Structure 1
Amino acid sequence: MKDFMKKLRQLSYTLRGSQCYHADYQLRNVNHVNDGGFPLRRPNSTIIIEISGTTTTINNNAPEKCAAVTKMGDKIPEFQEPITSLTFECHTHWQDSFHVLRDLYERRALCDVTLAVGSARLQCHRLVLACCSPYFQAMLTSEMRESREDVVPIHDIDEASMEALVSFMYTSKVLLTVDNVQKLLRASSLLQIEMVAKACCDFMTSHLHPTNCLGVRSFAELHGQNELLRAADSFTCDRFPEVLASEEFPTITASHFYDIIASSDIRILSETQVYNAVLKWVRYDLPKREADLPKLISAVRLPLVPLGFLMEVVESEELIKKCHRCRDLLDEAKNYHLSVNKVAPLSPKSVSQSQRFQPRKSTAGVLFVVGGRGASGDPFKSIECYDLRNNRWFHVAELNYKRRHVGVLSAGGKVYAAGGHDGKDHLNSMEVFEPKTNKWTLVSPMKTKRRGLAVTQLGGPLYAIGGLDDNTCFSEVERYDIASDSWSYAAPMIMARGGVAVETLNDHIYAVGGNDGSTTLNTCERYDPHLNKWTMIAAMQTRRAGGGVLALNGYLYVIGGFDDSSPLNSVERYDPRTKAWTSIKPMSMCRGGVGVSVISGKIYAIGGHNGSSYLMSGECYDPVTEKWTPIKDISTCRAGAGVVTCHCPVQLLKDVGKTSRVHSCV
């Protein structure tokens, strides 16, 4: 090896045997390797010599092992027996060899094949071509005619790209520019030079723009570059409104357009944008595209379009009127609006099995986790939000007051937080978060200070229900009028309920479980706002307080909480049609003081206490698959937090970073 004696001065030895020794080797010892003069402990031993990336193994089938690395200056006793075998490995040999190959290529020496590309003739080495390109390897090592020819014609690749790729085979370098990258990607894909193809894809991904992403996607599909295709699709979804304004948009195929608008990932503010995009694309070439309208309209989530838009715009559109399938989809959407607000609930599968009824990730809302407490007992002011589309948690502005066991709800695109405990006192204050300003503002306080209450909305007013202080569990119900910023009393519940869970379903408020001051409850009651009266309904199968309740697809789901002695992982579902509770798939772990909400047709359970520690984990329940799956952890362990989905654009929210101190989970 070149400069062998020089490199030997940085010699490093590893000895393996029953014992380890050190030696002060002189360079003269190396001269004795071939004549038996090299020091060796005994025949059954192995010596590995590393010389700046070069390894020599001297082996006599040693059954015993002992390893040590020796440096210059260490000593080892003289050995008597001669070496029986030696394996030498040079880790830089391949680099040196390729340097020689590159030099041979530059001098056009020992070339044994010529590539004919257009008017260019590229002399190179078959071995290098076969090593670097599976395409050439198959060509030159088979019985193909080209394997025997001195000049091999290359088709479908331009001269500049072929020269660049041959140069890459010898130098490991290739220049990518906006002018040559598409041709290089086409050529490297054909020749199966994957490293260059990936570099081209990465380069094109970095240059994606609303004006070119559709074309890049088509190019990637043509050449089988799935990673680039996915990147272009993701970019298109992320910048959907801008892409609609591009010159490329009207020219895409119907199937490509359908794939885009069928995705839950397109970033929009309203489903009306998707409807308008469909009409724009169809009208661009109406005679040829009108037949595509039914399929494209089926990808528009018409049930989530505002009812006024459905009645005033969609129903009056002539193209919709002429299409039987489109009229059916319009009727489905109108019936959904009636079903959700007026009549009998839909079964879960009739809704969830159809994507049309599920919001896209950008319009599904944002999950807020408000306040709560950790192991220190000190309540939190911090707020964590979950961005479903990007699977990330982030912090928005903190509450004005610390609050644990707080009641929260979302109304009118805002988040309300009422009552709770600040670590010293019970609270009757309520504050409102405005996403546009990223601020919490105090409004009129409740009449009663309390924690463990629940808050919901029925019609226009908000209702603060139940709760407790240090002495009493409450049956009280207060009603808040948003317009006048004032509180009044509504009919109290039949039973006092601290740690109660409440939800609105079919124009009624349901209050489930809680604690009456002496025992945990499984009883439930329902409020009729027209009669201003509470009525008892069927009791749950399990007594629970500090659980979560939500409405989904016409059912009530009650999740987790505590019984008299321990946290629960059980989940029950109430069907108001049969007036019965049914146990369904339990959570993966017990969660007392859990917060729950619905987003995009799935149930999210966040935090809580498992009996030994506070939790930062969460899980998600899909009513179609009937399975719980873990989700990304929040940053702070917390129980007694309020969890709610706010239907506001996530891009409105300002990430303020984590400002509160993180507490231990145990």
Structure 2
Amino acid sequence: MSMFANLEQGYPSGSAPNEYPCHWKLGYYTSFCKGLYEQLKADQFTDTQVTVGNKTFHCHKVVLSSMSPFFEAMYLSGMIEAQSGNVTLQDIGTETFELILSFVYCGQDIVTADNVDSILKAATMLQIHCLRERCEEFIGDHIDVDNCIAAWKLASSHGCGQLSKKAFAYIIHNFADVWSTEEFQELDSDEIVEIIKSNDLITPDEETVCEAVLKWLKYDAESRQKHVAKLFEHLRLPLMQPEYLVERLDAEELVSNSHECKEYIEEAKKYHLLQSRRQEFVSARLAHRNHGEYTEVIIFIGGNLHPERTSTDIWCYSLHKRKWTHLNQTPYELGVEFAICPHGNAIFVSGGSEYTNSMIYYLTTQNSWYICSKMLIGRRRHCMVSHGDFLYVLGGFDDDEDEERFSTLLSVERFGVTSGTWEDFGYLTLPVRSASASVIQGKIYVFGGIDGDGVCLDTIQCFDTRSRECTLLNKSLPMAGMISSVVVNQITYLVFPNGKVMKMTPNEEIEDAGTIRNFDRCGFGIVQHAGKLIVMGGIDSVEIHDEFIQFDIEQHEGTSMDHQLVRPMFGFGCVKATLAKTILK
């Protein structure tokens, strides 16, 4: 028996017989590689010849094939060249192959700033994955403003996914410096699109992105004119200042010669001009970038947590971040059955059970509430819409009216957003409360509701803001009573308590739009988001809900979303809004 038999077989305590300490492994690898490299230099036991350019290298099949699946497949293929041991490589330089042999035989770090391009190309061709990874690592550690585009293109051309992602991330995070480089000007149109459409792009403002595109186009205007519309499709024009649209882009000859570009600019102008319609605006060019100052949220005001208990909380929710934020509360408790309506950067709230003739507004740019002058008639269960520079309140229930049958209102009042004053503006055809309303081309449509005798209505009233006249459409809704409405691209979508969805086109045609299955509730909230309807919360005969349901107006069906209200709720007001991210912190 060996004199060391009792020393745990010569291995450190706790290690298995085949587990050597790291320094022994390193010594083994060093000796093994040194021996192989000495045999290569001495041309000992070599069994294959690799010709690169005008030089022939005598190598070992087993070594090359162990590191390179390219050589392994060649030697196993039965090709005449492989059987004879004579292999010729194209598209690799002699010096490059010499360096690769140094890496393959003894693991030398052969990558430098001068040769990394050629080494990466050769490593990709020969499928030497560990050498390719070393090249990717080297390039990734040395990315800067001047070479990030070259690194991105090199990585993309050789299928280096991780390096491509790293280089692209550097480009979009340092866009403010990168876009003025010569390398940026030499990108192709598809590469420019990939950069400017990224939601992760960090830019001082959207005008900077537009200037980058214009500079790229003018770099070779004659050949790049054909790409103008393709690029402008991805510019977020509605998020640019209106002065820039009018003073800069309207005067740009490259843009004025493109019909598509002019349409995109007109779309952006409408967004700025029609403040009352912003909630209905649907465009891929309206999306706020992830690192921008602003983000789109849904704001929730008041509501019921219980059939007899209301909430005084104001919350906002980011669908993108899945984050709830508590906002500044209203100046006083709203109670229930108030109306809510957005206009530009403000959200107006009128009436309600606590102060029936009140009007307040929340300024999204300041996270602050302000009190307006009072309505002429106190009301709740009314509807309120925005058109032009005015807000309109229609119908509702007047608690101060002694005779019950007259407490349901016909009156229409108008509030001047700029003037801050109210005026008696007209009358509905039928007194109504608990209805919903939408505005299309200056006409306010009032859907369903309940009349003064407590009868549920299936009517559609049309109040013309120009003539101040109201008429009944010669159409009936499929279900009477309380209906929720939302506008998408001038089409009004109506969601009924049983999940039925109808739509009314601008020419007043009523059409079936689909069904939300297993839906039976009232008091839910509804907004449009990215051209789809988002239905939230509500109450049925058994429970109060907290779920989000998305109704796809193209597919005509509703699906449950992986989002929830901050708590089960009904009877709340909700609108989409754009908030500064500092408020959400």
Q: TM-score, normalised by structure 1?
A: 0.64
- Give the match's secondary structure for 1:643: strand
Out of 208, 221, 233, the position equivalent to 1:286 is 221
The answer for the alignment partner of 2:574 in structure 1 is 643
Counterpart-to-counterpart distance in 1, 2:137 and 2:546? 36
What amino acid does structure 1 have at the position aligned with 2:297?
A: L
Out of 552, 563, 582, the position equivalent to 2:488 is 552
- Give the match's secondary structure for 1:437: coil
Instruction: Give the total of aligned pairs.
Output: 540
Over residues 458-481 of structure 1, what are the superposed CA-to-partner deviations in whole Å (9 max), with x where a residue is unaligned? 110112334447885544433222
Structure 1, 251-260 or 133-142: larger mean CA deviation: 133-142
Task: Tell me if 1:541 matches 2:473.
Answer: no
- Give the match's secondary structure for 1:572: strand
Counterpart-to-counterpart distance in 2, 1:267 and 1:485? 39
Deviation at 1:149, TM superposition (A): 6.5
| Residues 1:603 and 1:109: Cα distance change in structure 2 (over 3 Å) | closer
Task: Tell me if 1:498 matches 2:440.
Answer: no
The answer for the alignment partner of 2:503 in structure 1 is 573
- The answer to whether the Cα contact below 8 Å between 1:455 and 1:462 also exists between their aligned partners in 2 is yes
Deviation at 1:525, TM superposition (A): 1.2
The percentage of aligned residue pairs carrying the same residue is: 21
Deviation at 1:366, TM superposition (A): 1.9
Deviation at 1:215, TM superposition (A): 3.9
The answer for the alignment partner of 1:318 in structure 2 is 253
Out of 292, 316, 327, the position equivalent to 1:384 is 316
Q: Which runs of 5+ in 1 are unaligned?
A: 8-51, 54-91, 343-347, 563-567, 657-666
The answer for the alignment partner of 2:298 in structure 1 is 368
| Residues 1:335 and 1:653: Cα distance change in structure 2 (over 3 Å) | closer
Out of 512, 515, 524, the position equivalent to 2:450 is 515
Task: Tell me if 1:105 matches 2:37.
Answer: no
The answer for the alignment partner of 2:531 in structure 1 is 601
| Residues 1:581 and 1:294: Cα distance change in structure 2 (over 3 Å) | closer
Q: Which runs of 5+ in 2 are unaligned?
A: 9-13, 42-49, 275-279
Over residues 143-175 of structure 1, what are the superposed CA-to-partner deviations in whole Å (9 max), with x where a residue is unaligned? 466798699999576888887788889xxxx99
| Residues 1:215 and 1:110: Cα distance change in structure 2 (over 3 Å) | closer
Deviation at 1:333, TM superposition (A): 5.9
| Residues 1:335 and 1:112: Cα distance change in structure 2 (over 3 Å) | closer
| Residues 1:596 and 1:496: Cα distance change in structure 2 (over 3 Å) | same
What amino acid does structure 2 have at the position aligned with 1:603?
A: L
Matches within 5 A, 1:96-245: 103-108=27-32, 126=62, 130=66, 134-135=69-70, 137-139=72-74, 141-143=76-78, 155=92, 189=124, 192=127, 214-226=149-161, 229=164, 243-245=178-180
Deviation at 1:221, TM superposition (A): 1.4
| Residues 1:430 and 1:239: Cα distance change in structure 2 (over 3 Å) | farther
Deviation at 1:621, TM superposition (A): 3.8
- The answer to whether the Cα contact below 8 Å between 2:339 and 2:350 also exists between their aligned partners in 1 is yes
What amino acid does structure 1 have at the position aligned with 2:393?
A: A
Counterpart-to-counterpart distance in 2, 1:204 and 1:509? 62
Counterpart-to-counterpart distance in 1, 2:481 and 2:115? 67
Out of 340, 354, 363, the position equivalent to 1:434 is 363
Counterpart-to-counterpart distance in 2, 1:369 and 1:499? 21
| Residues 1:426 and 1:437: Cα distance change in structure 2 (over 3 Å) | closer
| Residues 1:315 and 1:516: Cα distance change in structure 2 (over 3 Å) | same
Deviation at 1:457, TM superposition (A): 0.8
Deviation at 1:218, TM superposition (A): 1.8
- The answer to whether the Cα contact below 8 Å between 2:535 and 2:548 also exists between their aligned partners in 1 is yes
The answer for the alignment partner of 1:410 in structure 2 is 342
Structure 1, 454-463 or 153-162: larger mean CA deviation: 153-162
Deviation at 1:139, TM superposition (A): 5.0
Counterpart-to-counterpart distance in 2, 1:597 and 1:127? 66
Deviation at 1:115, TM superposition (A): 7.8
| Residues 1:112 and 1:399: Cα distance change in structure 2 (over 3 Å) | same
The answer for the alignment partner of 1:251 in structure 2 is 186
| Residues 1:122 and 1:580: Cα distance change in structure 2 (over 3 Å) | same
Over residues 553-574 of structure 1, what are the superposed CA-to-partner deviations in whole Å (9 max), with x where a residue is unaligned? 23111124x3xxxxx2111101
| Residues 1:241 and 1:446: Cα distance change in structure 2 (over 3 Å) | farther
- The answer to whether the Cα contact below 8 Å between 1:240 and 1:268 also exists between their aligned partners in 2 is yes
Deviation at 1:397, TM superposition (A): 1.9
Counterpart-to-counterpart distance in 1, 2:351 and 2:253? 53
Structure 1, 204-213 or 249-258: larger mean CA deviation: 204-213
Q: TM-score, normalised by structure 2?
A: 0.71
- The answer to whether the Cα contact below 8 Å between 1:475 and 1:492 also exists between their aligned partners in 2 is yes
What amino acid does structure 1 have at the position aligned with 2:547?
A: S
The answer for the alignment partner of 1:478 in structure 2 is 413
Over residues 161-204 of structure 1, what are the superposed CA-to-partner deviations in whole Å (9 max), with x where a residue is unaligned? 887788889xxxx9999999988876765565768877987998
- The answer to whether the Cα contact below 8 Å between 2:238 and 2:269 also exists between their aligned partners in 1 is yes
Counterpart-to-counterpart distance in 2, 1:269 and 1:525? 47
- The answer to whether the Cα contact below 8 Å between 1:466 and 1:496 also exists between their aligned partners in 2 is yes
What amino acid does structure 2 have at the position aligned with 1:107?
A: S
What amino acid does structure 1 have at the position aligned with 2:316?
A: E
Over residues 34-65 of structure 1, what are the superposed CA-to-partner deviations in whole Å (9 max), with x where a residue is unaligned? xxxxxxxxxxxxxxxxxx99xxxxxxxxxxxx
| Residues 1:378 and 1:334: Cα distance change in structure 2 (over 3 Å) | closer
Deviation at 1:607, TM superposition (A): 2.9
Deviation at 1:486, TM superposition (A): 3.0
Deviation at 1:96, TM superposition (A): 6.0
What amino acid does structure 1 have at the position aligned with 2:572?
A: A
Over residues 333-380 of structure 1, what are the superposed CA-to-partner deviations in whole Å (9 max), with x where a residue is unaligned? 6599799999xxxxx9xx98xxxx543411897232312333584324
- The answer to whether the Cα contact below 8 Å between 1:456 and 1:462 also exists between their aligned partners in 2 is yes
Counterpart-to-counterpart distance in 2, 1:602 and 1:210? 40
Counterpart-to-counterpart distance in 1, 2:489 and 2:542? 34
- Give the match's secondary structure for 2:193: helix
Counterpart-to-counterpart distance in 2, 1:311 and 1:287? 25
- Give the match's secondary structure for 1:619: strand
Counterpart-to-counterpart distance in 2, 1:473 and 1:165? 89
- Give the match's secondary structure for 1:597: strand
Counterpart-to-counterpart distance in 1, 2:58 and 2:570? 71
| Residues 1:413 and 1:520: Cα distance change in structure 2 (over 3 Å) | same
Deviation at 1:594, TM superposition (A): 2.4
Counterpart-to-counterpart distance in 2, 1:522 and 1:240? 56
